Amino acid sequence: MKNYFFFLALLLIALKVNAQDSNWSVNAADYQYNMAFTTFLSVNGTTLSSSEDKVAAFVNGEVRGVANVVYVSAYNKYVAYLSVYANTNGETISFKMYDSDTDAIVASAETYNFSIDATVGGVFQSYSIANPALNKDAVLNSFSFKGITAVSASILNNRIDIVLPFGTASTNLIAEYSISAGATFFVDFTNQISGETSQNFTNTVSYKLMSENEATLIDYDVHVALEIANTDPPQLILSSDVNAFVKQAPVVVNVQTNVAISGFTTEDILLSNAVVSAMNKVDELNYVLQIIPIQQGLFSIEIPENTVLNIDSEGNEKSNKLIFTYDLVRPYVAAIKRSNPVEEITKDNTLAFMVTFNEDVENVSSSDFMSVSDATFTVAKENDSTYLITVMGIEDFYGAVYLNIKPVNTIQDKAGNLLMNTVINVNQN
């Protein structure tokens, strides 16, 4: 029993000494040549991520390079930039890692032959130093879209072709896929998550499939098309989220068709007092236009018949017509006139004014008016540009009674242009 505890004590001492052996160093001046590694370190399947973690390169047990782990925020990744030195080309390099969490030195099975001035790995695709070794395979087993049953799908020669049901919106599809254990899919160097990450597949989307050890990188292009479900004549429907009166440009107009069409260009659009500034195809059935009015007043958009074709070369029916009014000019008060006869003033102690605006307005309320002290108002709409304003509470007032619109008010025209701050005095003795 004493021998057992003596052996255990020796073992613990040996482990402690071994852990302290991570104080590696190398004198670069002793060597003529160097090569560079960008590496990521893995122990028991976990990437080392502490700044105290490090890696060392050895040739025949001699330290030839040391580097600590650093974080690269642009790639959300932990790597070590390792410079290795030698005087002879072709020497075999081995590696050891220091895991600060466990205070242990871990040897890696990877070896590499020294090559003068060579660069191995990068931040995105780094050289793997791991124990145990990571999976080197990058195999795509399947590719589909969440919640959608494809009409057809194929993976051939790094190209994925998928046909989706007619009418499917391809702008926000979530990919689901099966790949090699530990492998990762990237789009524009951004990690994708199966069943969670969405992409716009209106155009080709390029994926990069990287193996767990990052040694294998395969490019895949995903092409999505929509099934052509029928060959009815095209029916085009125009719509817009803005109302008929606008004061800002461009105006966004949506074009929806019941079937896939061909030959649709800006030249097919009939415009009055406007031009098309942009045209974007969302998918096979939807387009977005931006139109800009040329001058004040009415402008319109429509698509004449037989300007676009379906798959059987049948022309479209005439679309609906959208008509807008482009209005940048603020409304103003055209006139304020007394409405009730003089004898009625003494009868009920009220005074009525007819307020006429130069164009149709809205948001006219009693709080927009002011008159003599203690006066109150009622507002009656005659039509969109004429309002009857009754001034009350003037029974104890002597002198001229006036009606003004407050300089600050909410009165506006149909396009949302606020009323000019105009004050017009009307006297009544």
* Residues with Cβ within 8 Å of residue 303, at least 6 apart in sequence: 236, 238, 255, 268, 269, 270, 316, 318, 319
pLDDT score for 351: 86
What are the sequence ranges of the domains in the chain?
2-131, 140-226, 236-326, 333-413
The 10s digit of each residue's pLDDT in 122-152 is 999 999 999 999 999 999 999 999 999 998 9
User: Residue 14 contacts by C-beta under 8 Å, 6 or more apart in sequence?
Assistant: none
Q: How confident is the model at residue 16 (pLDDT cuts 50, 70, 90)?
A: very low
The per-residue pLDDT of the chain, averaged, comes to: 89
Residue 200 structure tokens: 């716009």
DSSP 371: -
Q: Read off the pLDDT band of 118 (50, 70, 90).
A: very high
Domains 2-131 and 140-226 alike in fold: yes
Which region among 106-120, 221-235, 295-309, 377-391 has the lowest average model confidence (pLDDT)? 221-235
Average pLDDT of the residues in 308-330: 91
- Structure tokens, 314: 């049948």
So what's the architecture of 140-226 in CATH? Answer: Sandwich (2.60)
Predicted local confidence at residue 197, as pLDDT? 97
Where residue 341 falls among pLDDT bands split at 50, 70, 90? low
pLDDT in tens, 43-83: 999 999 999 999 999 999 999 999 999 999 999 999 999 99
Fold of domain 2-131: Immunoglobulin-like (2.60.40)
Strand order of the sheet with strand 386-392?
A: 333-338, 351-357, 386-392, 376-383
- Give the residue-averaged pLDDT of 270-274: 95
Residue 350 pLDDT? 81
pLDDT at residue number 97: 98
The rounded Cα 181 to chain-centroid distance in angstroms is: 30
- Percentage of the chain beyond pLDDT 90 is 73
pLDDT at residue number 109 = 94
pLDDT score at 342: 54
Q: For residues 152, 155, 158 and 161, what is the CA-based torsion angle, rounded to 10 degrees? A: 0
DSSP per residue over 333-349, as a string?
EEEEEE-S-HHHHHHHS
Sign of CA dihedral 104, 109, 110, 116: positive
Quickly state the pLDDT bin for 2 (edges 50, 70, 90). Answer: very low
What is the reported pLDDT for 344? 54
Residue scoring higher pLDDT (69 or 338): 69
**pLDDT value at position 19?**
44
Whole-number percent of the chain with pLDDT over 70: 90
Could you tell me the pLDDT band of residue 232, with boundaries at 50, 70 and 90?
confident
pLDDT > 50? residue 335:
yes
What pLDDT is attached to residue 345? 53
Q: Which has the minimum average pLDDT: 74-83, 297-306, 319-328, 339-348?
A: 339-348
d(CA 177, CA 150): 14
Dihedrals phi, psi of 3, to nearest 5 degrees: -60, -35
| Phi and psi torsions of 342, nearest 5° | -60, -40
Tell me: the pLDDT tens digits for 285-297? 999 999 999 999 9
Selection from 308, 409, 399, 396 nearest residue 368 by Cα: 409
Q: What is the mean pLDDT of residues 250-264?
A: 92
Asked if pLDDT for residue 14 goes beyond 50, the answer is no
Tell me: the pLDDT tens digits for 141-196? 999 999 999 989 999 999 999 999 888 999 999 999 999 999 999 999 999 999 99
The answer, yes or no, to whether residue 284 has pLDDT greater than 60, is: yes
Q: 341 or 283: whose pLDDT is higher?
A: 283
Distances from the Cα of 388 to the Cαs of 243, 342, 348, 357, 395, in angstroms?
A: 27, 16, 17, 12, 20
Q: What is the rounded CA–CA span in Å between residue 394 and residue 366?
A: 16
- Position 401 pLDDT exceeds 90: no
Nearest-CA neighbor of 111 among 64, 58, 66, 63?
Answer: 58
Kind plus residue range of the DSSP H or E element containing 300: strand 297-302
pLDDT of 17 over the 70 cut:
no
Contact 305, 318 (CB under 8 A): yes
Q: Select from 52, 95, 44, 84 the least CA-distant residue to 71.
A: 52
| Overall fold of domain 236-326 | Immunoglobulin-like (2.60.40)
In the predicted structure, residue 13 carries a pLDDT above the cut 80: no
